Amino acid sequence: MTFKDQWRFVRRNMKRSKSRIFMTILATAMGVAFLIVLASVGFGLHTTFIDDIIRDRSVTKIEISGLEKDNDIAPITDEEITELEKVDSMKAVTRQLSLRQTPQFNIEDYSGSVETVVSHFPSELKAGMELKEGDLPEDPYEVVVGPHFIENLYPDDLPVDEEVYDEDGMMKEEFKYEESLIGKEVDMVVEQNVDDETKEHEITLTITGIVEPPARDWMQDRQVYISEDVLTEIESFTETSRGAIIDPNYPDAEEEVTGYDKVYGYANSLEEVQEISEYLTEENYLVYSAASELDYLNTFFTIAKAGLIFIGTIAIIIASIGIYNTMTMAVTERTSDIGIMKAIGAHPKKIKQIFLLESSYIGLIGAFIGTVVAFVISILLNIGLPWIIESAFEQELPEGFQFSSIPPSLILIAAVICLIVTVLSGLKPAKRATQIDVLKAMRREI
């Protein structure tokens, strides 16, 4: 008996009990739709979180904090930087030197103490650093500042008991420096203790640009990015490495410091981060990247999605009771036909195949209809839920927020689960069909 003929039999038999088959398919479709919609929430939130993280360039960032040499940790120097830049898939290697004191910056009637660093701008630009306003410095006494630099500037005439910050911890608008910083001259005041006396040195710098804010709202960049020439001037004033202030309580300040304070490697993709990290670890570099955090997130969501799929599967299992019932009734109704077919010479295996084909067919149609319904629900969820949240809780959801997502893999998983469950539920009735006694089926007297 060919597959085509078996298929013809199945369709003929199904036509005989249309309404029952329809209800069974409906139950299966509901089960599949429930599974897909439930799991789609896991998939949607996972996608949203991953997209959110990937948008931030720090995901492709690898922190390189030192090199293990002779059981000691050595700082990264220009020699290692050259090596690191040669590593396969390494997009850029940024490095920063930090000034070992926090200078005061005076601009017109405003002043504030801000952390100061020396950055290598070509590599920063390669890594994705962008300027919000202005240009990069061309002269050694030109600087760029972080986008939140302004938050550290206080009016000189600020009364002592005045509350400067609002309830969110941000500087109140009335105290903020309002003018554009671009092109403004700023006096950087560095200090040094000489013979129990604090001496100051003033360097005038011009702000040429403001760095683009970090991808995250909660991240702040208040730094001033100076040139190596300015650092050299500071060091010649303080006579210490990186402008450290001499303090009898901290004799370390006078020690010579070598190497960069912050070195970051940048990859093009998350996969490359893993690759580069493994390679650098082998080369005895001390590395840390956000990829490990992402791994944790992926594991968490994979477990969550598996859990949701499991709960959804229960719905399909409940629907399978209907399939079992339908198939059992079909076998009972067709007992006589099965008996005749067996008497003529139908192999029990073929009879089993016909019934399994029928239950699989119910499962497949159910899976198809369920998937279509799930897509519609998913679209409605993505449109309706943000609207409900926004109007009921007056809370705006982040841009690109996706509550429900149905990737092809989820459809495949649902279809496979549905097919397995329906075939299993049709297995016993199909086996019963093969065990039908020919003589009893034909109601013969023995």
Nearer to other proteins, 210 or 433 (CB): 433
Among 165, 349, 376, 379, binds other proteins (CB under 8 A): 349
Among 19, 344, 393, 399, binds other proteins (CB under 8 A): 344
- Pairwise CA distance, residues 297 & 311, whole Å: 21
- Pairwise CA distance, residues 130 & 126, whole Å: 10
Among 128, 348, 386, 407, binds other proteins (CB under 8 A): 348
Under rule CB under 8 A, residue 138 binds other proteins:
no
- Pairwise CA distance, residues 127 & 63, whole Å: 13
Which SS3 state, helix, strand or coil, does residue 409 take? helix
Nearer to other proteins, 82 or 336 (CB): 336
Residue located via tokens 């409906």: 26
State the minimum distance, in angstroms, from the CB of residue 329 to other proteins. Answer: 16
Among 136, 340, 397, 419, binds other proteins (CB under 8 A): 340
Task: List the one residue out of 427, 241, 245, 353 whose CA is nearest residue 7.
Answer: 353
- Pairwise CA distance, residues 121 & 134, whole Å: 14
Q: Write each residue from 368 to 407 as x if it is in contact with other proteins (CB under 8 A), else as -, in one continuous string.
A: ----------------------------------------
State the minimum distance, in angstroms, from the CB of residue 51 to other proteins. Answer: 55
Nearer to other proteins, 2 or 71 (CB): 2
CB 97 within 8 A of CB 260: yes
Among 10, 25, 315, 341, binds other proteins (CB under 8 A): 341
Under rule CB under 8 A, residue 442 binds other proteins:
yes
**Residues of this chain, 297-316, that bind other proteins according to CB under 8 A:** none
Under rule CB under 8 A, residue 356 binds other proteins:
no
State the minimum distance, in angstroms, from the CB of residue 325 to other proteins. Answer: 22
| Binding segment (CB under 8 A) for other proteins, from list 44-52, 144-152, 344-352, 395-403 | 344-352
CA 386 to mean position of chain CA atoms:
20
Nearer to other proteins, 86 or 443 (CB): 443
The residues, ordered by sequence, that sit 6+ positions from 86 with a Cβ below 8 Å of its Cβ are none
Angle at 210 between CA 206 and CA 211, to 5 degrees: 135
State the minimum distance, in angstroms, from the CB of residue 26 to other proteins. Answer: 25
State the minimum distance, in angstroms, from the CB of residue 363 to other proteins. Answer: 24
CA 270 to mean position of chain CA atoms:
10
Among 16, 132, 172, 216, binds other proteins (CB under 8 A): 16
Among 186, 322, 342, 374, binds other proteins (CB under 8 A): 342
- Pairwise CA distance, residues 39 & 352, whole Å: 34
Under rule CB under 8 A, residue 2 binds other proteins:
yes
The residues, ordered by sequence, that sit 6+ positions from 260 with a Cβ below 8 Å of its Cβ are 75, 76, 77, 81, 95, 96, 97
Under rule CB under 8 A, residue 199 binds other proteins:
no
Under rule CB under 8 A, residue 444 binds other proteins:
yes
CB 77 within 8 A of CB 258: yes
Q: Which two tokens stand for residue 180?
A: 């554009």
Q: Is the dihedral of CA 10, 13, 19, 23 positive or negative?
A: negative
State the minimum distance, in angstroms, from the CB of residue 343 to other proteins. Answer: 6
- Pairwise CA distance, residues 417 & 367, whole Å: 9
Task: List the one residue out of 386, 388, 379, 387 whose CA is nearest residue 406.
Answer: 379
Under rule CB under 8 A, residue 347 binds other proteins:
yes
- Report the interface residues with other proteins, using CB under 8 A: 1-2, 5, 12, 16, 336-337, 339-350, 438-439, 442, 444-446
